[in-house]
Amino acid sequence: MSVMTIPATDSPAASTTTRNPLRWFVFAVVVIANVMDLMDSTIVNVAGPSIRTALGGGSSTLQWLSAGYTLAFAVFLVTGARLGDMFGRRRLFLIGSAGFTVMSAACAAAPSIGVLIALRCLQGAFGAMLIPQGMGMLKESFDDDEMGKVFGVFGPLMALSALAAPILAGGLVEANLWGTGWRLVFLINVPIGIAGFVGAVKVLPRTITHPGTKLDTVGMLLVGGALSAIIYPLIQGQPDGWPAWTFVLLGVGAALLGAFVLWERHRRGDALIEPSLLANKTYTSGILVALAFFGAFGGLILCVSLFAQLGEGFTPVHAGLTLMAMVFGMLVGMVAGFALVAKLRRHLLHLGMAVIAAGVVVLALTVTGAQSASTTDLAPGLFLIGLGAGASVGQLFDFIIAGVSMDEVGSASGVLEAVQQVATSIGVAGLGTIFFSAFAHGLPTHALAITAWACLGPVALAFLLIFRLPMQARESTD
């Protein structure tokens, strides 16, 4: 399950205050696109075991189904925003929407697990073209004083989508309509995507292009190579017995990541990341907070779903319902976070991380030494984890970008969106590997306990790094 955030990859110069009579139809089209992305980055956590049963594959298969999508999404996200500036957001939105829908249909028809994983990567790449364009077009369609209302509706809709996703995934798999089984979780995107595409053609505004803008191709290749070289051995190392090549590849990934940072810091104009952001210690500390937090959260969600189905034999619907305690906690935490942030300021983030840590400890102690664990047994720990995550994630980006200048906000927000996806991929790879390593040598409850204890490391790191963030969040300028 992806943590819900509102896309903010927009060029300040592109915002206008022109009132578009079709603006709420534009809003509906953008919501459809974001719901498809949110659902697709979530449903494989529940549908994964059924997919592996049908198509085969090892333990790494379940990790790649999730990590492949988020990795491709992250690598192409900032590039997708830049392409929208170059060729027009409307055009990129239509290309992304059509590609995402076609890839969804292709995923449903995949004949083998390898083909499905490759198609998931392509689906993530088209999603990265699609999603960044939406917020820019909303800002072009709505008056500035209406954007608060837009965000007020957008957030709850995404929350409801996250609430429904695990149950919907389980229900679609178990429904097995026309013998489709797991394929229905991808087929469901096709009518939604077609409706969104037709609506986009009819209502999306013509947008300004900036043909003089250039792509940072070298930067994109460096960061793509670095992330692939890091995530691939994290996932494949355990089933292959950790041969020497896995450590060599990790070293290559670290070297490429360093080269990417050096390239971006010395590039002048059209860099993937503004060089001034990389020199901003407050902002880079915030990136590390996001990496630690989203990595722990995204990886743990996958492992809980795997424990429920592979370990306890829960049906897909039952596994989805098990995750509901966490999702409900997130919704409560988000409401509480918005109410308390003015009073607690940065301490709200510390409180959120502390509650997550408490939930992780409760979850670990619940399954330690136990032969099995029911949905009811897991609920208290999962609720606390969701509660802390909701309180933190609803405010985290505002604190991180509080330390950047106004003309850097668009770039800073876009990078954070990409970092969220990268962190999820790394979390799925790292914690998934820990889970499967323990799962192969002991009880499923032992595997979940080990994974939960491992989560405390990145959560503690995030807690400490929060001290380097500004005390006050940036106030919304929308």
pLDDT digit string (tens) for 149-204?
Answer: 776 677 667 766 766 777 778 888 887 778 788 898 898 889 989 998 998 888 88
Neighbours of 469 (CB within 10 A): 21
What is the mean pLDDT of the segment spanning 83-93?
A: 84
pLDDT at 18: 52
Question: How would residue 65 be classed by pLDDT, with cut points 50, 70 and 90?
Answer: confident
Q: Is the pLDDT of residue 120 over 90?
A: yes
Same domain for 168 and 229, yes or no, is no
Listed residues 266, 298, 332: the one ending a domain: 266
Q: Are 203 and 238 members of one domain?
A: no
Both 433 and 419 in one domain: the answer is yes
Query: Is the predicted pLDDT of residue 32 greater than 50, yes or no?
Result: yes
> Is residue 209 over pLDDT 70?
no
pLDDT band for position 96 (50/70/90)?
very high
Per-residue CA distances from 238 to 63, 321, 364 (Å)? 12, 30, 22
pLDDT score of 48: 85
Q: Do the domain assignments include residue 272? A: no
Categorize the per-residue pLDDT at 268 as very low, low, confident or very high, splitting at 50, 70 and 90.
low
Residues 200 and 239 reside in one and the same domain: no
Residue 14 pLDDT: 41
CA–CA distance, 75 with 260 (Å, rounded to integer) = 13
In the chain, the number of structural domains is 3
Regarding predicted confidence, which is higher, 112 or 135? 112
Q: What's 42's domain CATH number?
A: 1.20.1250.20
| 197 domain residue, yes or no | yes
All residues at 6 or more sequence positions from 143 whose CB lies less than 8 Å from its CB, including other chains: 17, 18, 19
Q: Does 294 reside within a domain? A: yes
Give the tens place of pLDDT for each residue, 420-439.
Answer: 888 888 988 899 899 998 88
Same-domain pairing of 310 and 426: yes
SS (HEC) of the chain: CCCCCCCCCCCHHHCCCCCCCCHHHHHHHHHHHHHHHHHHHHHHHHHHHHHHHHHCCCHHHHHHHHHHHHHHHHHHHHHHHHHHHHHCHHHHHHHHHHHHHHHHHHHHCCCCHHHHHHHHHHHHHHHHHHHHHHHHHHHHHCCHHHHHHHHHHHHHHHHHHHHHHHHHHHHHHHHCHHHCHHHHHHHCHHHHHHHHHHHHHHHCCCCCCCCCCCCCHHHHHHHHHHHHHHHHHHHHCCCCCCCHHHHHHHHHHHHHHHHHHHHHHHCCCCCCCCHHHHCCHHHHHHHHHHHHHHHHHHHHHHHHHHHHHHHCCCCHHHHHHHCHHHHHHHHHHHHHHHHHHHHHCCHHHHHHHHHHHHHHHHHHHHHCCCCCCCHHHHHHHHHHHHHHHHHHHHHHHHHHHHHCCHHHHHHHHHHHHHHHHHHHHHHHHHHHHHHHHHHCCCCHHHHHHHHHHHHHHHHHHHHHHHHHCCCCCCCCCC
**Percentage, residues of the chain above pLDDT 90:** 30
The two structure tokens encoding residue 415: 């990078």
Query: How crowded is residue 111: how many other Cβ atoms within 10 Å of its Cβ?
Result: 8
Residue 358 in this model has a pLDDT that exceeds 90: yes
The answer to whether residue 408 scores a pLDDT higher than 90 is no
Residue 35 lies in a domain: yes
Which tens digit of pLDDT belongs to each residue from 297-348?
988 988 998 899 998 999 888 988 898 899 889 889 988 988 898 899 899 9
Residues 86 and 157 in one domain: yes
Q: Which of 69-73, 185-189, 210-214, 354-358 has the highest mean pLDDT?
A: 354-358
Q: Give a yes or no: residue 271 inside a domain.
A: no
Q: In Å, what is the CA distance from 124 to each residue of 73, 184, 254, 330, 427?
A: 4, 18, 23, 25, 17
Residues 243 and 311 grouped into a single domain: no
356 falls within a domain: yes
Q: Could you tell me if residue 273 is inside a domain?
A: no
Distances (CA, A) of 24 to 16, 141, 286, 452, 477: 16, 9, 34, 43, 21
| Closest to 193 (Cα-Cα) out of 33, 364, 412 | 33
Round the CA-based radius of gyration of the chain to a whole number and report it.
21
Looking at the fold, whether 175 and 230 belong to one and the same domain comes out as no
Average pLDDT of the residues in 49-57: 87
Structure tokens at 29: 């089209």
Does residue 302 fall inside a structural domain?
yes
236 — pLDDT class (breaks 50, 70, 90):
confident
Q: What per-residue confidence (pLDDT) applies to 8?
A: 41
Residues 229 and 352 in one domain: no
Report pLDDT for 477: 43
Q: CA angle at residue 223 from 121 to 86, to 5 degrees?
A: 80
Residues 192 and 258 in one domain: no
Parent domain of 296: 278-478
Q: How far apart are CA 53 and CA 313, in angstroms?
A: 13
The reply to whether 149 and 282 lie within a common domain is no
Q: What is the reported pTM? A: 0.82
Using a pLDDT cut of 70, give the percent of the chain over it.
Answer: 90
Average pLDDT, the chain: 84
Distance CA 100, CA 122 (A): 8
Give per-residue pLDDT as tens, 435-466. 998 888 888 999 999 999 999 999 999 999 99
Both 74 and 92 in one domain: the answer is yes
Angle, to 10 degrees, between the axis of helix 59-87 and the axis of helix 89-108? Answer: 160
